[in-house]
Amino acid sequence: MADAKVIPFDDDRSRAGAAGPRAGRRRSGPGGGARRRNGEGSAVSPLPAPPSADRPADRAPDGGAPEDRDGAAGDGDAGRDAPGGGAVPGRRGDWERRVAGGLAFLRRRVTGEYEVDEFGYDAELTDQVLMSLLRPLYEKYFRVEVKGVENIPAEGGALVVANHSGVLPLDGLMMQVAVHDNHPAGRHLRLLAADLVFVLPVVNELARKAGHTLACAEDAERLLQRGEVVGVMPEGFKGIGKPFGERYKLQRFGRGGFVSTALRAGVPIVPCSIVGAEEIYPMIGNLKTLARVLGIPYFPVTPTFPWLGPLGAVPLPTKWTIQFGEPIPTDGYPMEAAEDPMLMFNLTDQVREQIQHTLYKLLVQRRSVFF
C-alpha cells in the first residue's frame, strides 16, 4: 500500500496535492448537482426511488403491517387463502410491487439513470443498499441506542463533532445510520474522512457513494453552506488507534479547524458522544515498524488479531450508545471571529469538555460492556 499522508482538517492550504482523491468528482452545473448517465455527463431525470425491502411503501401509518398482506394486520394465518382457495390478491400485489421496484432500481444502475452530486454522493444507492447493509450491524449486533438526535436541526447546516475510537472507523458508520434512521426530519450525515480512505480500492468508491468527502476546511464549508449535516471526528488517527488502556480519554482535537469552519458557515456545533466502540477491538499493542512498511498509521494487535487471522478481525458484539448533545450556536459571532485564535481555542475546549463529560456520564450509567 502506498504511503498515505494524513491531511489535517484545519489545513487551509491549496488542495492541489489531493487531486487523486478528488479526481472522481463531477462538477455541478447551475442547479447544484451533477448528473451522470453511463459514466458520462449527460443529464437524465431520475425515476422515483423504489421502496426498500425493509421499508415497504405500503406500511401502515402507525408502523403496523398493512391489512391486505394477510387479510388483517397482525393476524398470523388468517386470510392466508381467498374464499376460492387462491392466494390473496393483496399479498401477491405486495410482492409484485417489490419485484418491480427492485428491477427498476437495477435498470437505473445499469443504464446510469441516477444522480450523484459534485462530491460523488449517490442518495438512492445509500438509502436503498448501503444503509440496508449496515442496519443489521447497527440494530442486531451492536444494538445501538440513540439519544438526543432531535438536537440536530431539522433544516439548514450543522456540524456534528464526535469522539473517535475502535481501531476501524465503524463508529462513524454507525453514527451515520443513527442520523439516517432516527432523525425526525430524515436528515443525512455527510462524514469527513482522512485521505487514506480515498486511496484504498473499493473503499474509495463506496465512501464517495455514501456521501463521505475529504476532511478539509474547503469541502466542509461548501457542504455546510449548502445546508448539509456534516460529521467530523477531530481526534483522527490519534483517537481511533489509541491503546485500550486510554479508552474513553479524548485525544487532542487539533488546532480548532472545525470550529473555524463552523464560524465561517454560521452553523451550530452538535457534540456527539459514542460509548461502546472502544471495546470492539481492544488494542493491546501496535507494530509500528510494520505499519510504516505498509504505509498505514498503526498496525493493531488485539487479543484475537493477528493470531486468529481473518477471524480475528470480527469485532466484539458490544452494546453501543450514541448521544447527541445540546447544539452550540455560532451564528452570533462576527465573520472575523473565525480568525480569532483565542475564540477558536475556547470553543474547541468547550466542545471537547462537553463530549468528555457525556462519555463519563454514559459509562457510569452503562450496566455492562455487552448488555
Predicted confidence (pLDDT) per residue in 349-368, tens digit:
999 999 999 999 999 999 99
Residue 343 has pLDDT above 50, yes or no: yes
State the residue for C-alpha cell 475546549: 349
- Asked whether the predicted pLDDT for residue 22 surpasses 50, the reply is no
Q: Which residue has the cell 481511533?
A: 240
Q: What is the mean pLDDT of the chain?
A: 81
Give the amino acid at 124.
E
| Least confident range of 47-51, 243-247, 252-256, 296-300 | 47-51
Residue 182, pLDDT > 70, answer yes
Region 113-133: what's the mean pLDDT?
A: 93
Select the more confidently predicted residue: 230 or 101: 230
β strands within the chain, DSSP E = 34-36, 114-116, 145-147, 158-162, 189-193, 213-214, 229-232, 269-275, 285-286, 300-301, 321-324
Which is more confident, 64 or 223? Answer: 223
What digits encode the pLDDT tens for the residues 248-257?
999 989 788 9
pLDDT at residue 25 is higher than 80: no
pLDDT at 42 over 90: no
Residues shown for the chain: 371
Q: For residue 363, give Cα distances in angstroms to 17, 145, 280.
A: 41, 14, 15
Number of helices (H), then strands (E), belonging to the chain: the values are 11, 11
Q: Please, are residues 138 and 199 in contact by the beta-carbon 8 Å criterion? A: no
- The proportion of the chain whose per-residue pLDDT surpasses 70, expressed as a percent, equals 76
Closest to 161 (Cα-Cα) out of 192, 134, 123, 182: 192
Is residue 47's pLDDT more than 70? no
Amino acid at 344: M
Spell out the CATH class of 120-280+315-365. alpha beta
The whole-angstrom separation of Cα 55 and Cα 59 is: 7
CATH 3.40.1130.10 in the chain: give the residue spans.
120-280+315-365
Strand order from edge to edge, sheet including 269-275: 145-147, 321-324, 269-275, 158-162, 229-232, 189-193, 213-214
pLDDT at 255: 80
Whether a cis peptide bond, with omega within 30° of 0, leads into 56 is no
Give bridge partners of residue 87 from the DSSP assignment: 81
Say if residue 51's pLDDT is above 90: no
| Tens-place pLDDT, residues 52-80 | 444 444 444 344 444 443 333 334 343 34
Which ranges in 89-227 belong to alpha helices (H)?
89-111, 123-125, 131-136, 170-182, 203-209, 217-225
The pLDDT value given to residue 100:
87
Q: Which three cell numbers stand for residue 40?
A: 458520462
pTM of the model: 0.74
**Banded pLDDT at 30 (limits 50, 70, 90):** very low
Q: How confident is the model at residue 135 (pLDDT cuts 50, 70, 90)?
A: very high
Please tell me the number of Cα atoms within 13 Å of 250 on its side-chain side.
26
The pLDDT of residue 28: 38
For the segment 216-224, the average pLDDT, to the nearest whole number, is 94
Question: Given a cut of 80, is residue 245 above it in pLDDT?
Answer: yes
Q: Which comes out higher in pLDDT, residue 263 or 109?
A: 263
Q: Under DSSP, is residue 188 helix (H, G, I), strand (E, B) or coil?
A: coil
Higher-confidence position of 332 and 279: 279
Q: Mean of the pLDDT values across residues 135-151? A: 97
Supply the pLDDT for residue 90.
Answer: 57
**Residue 333: is its pLDDT beyond 60?**
yes
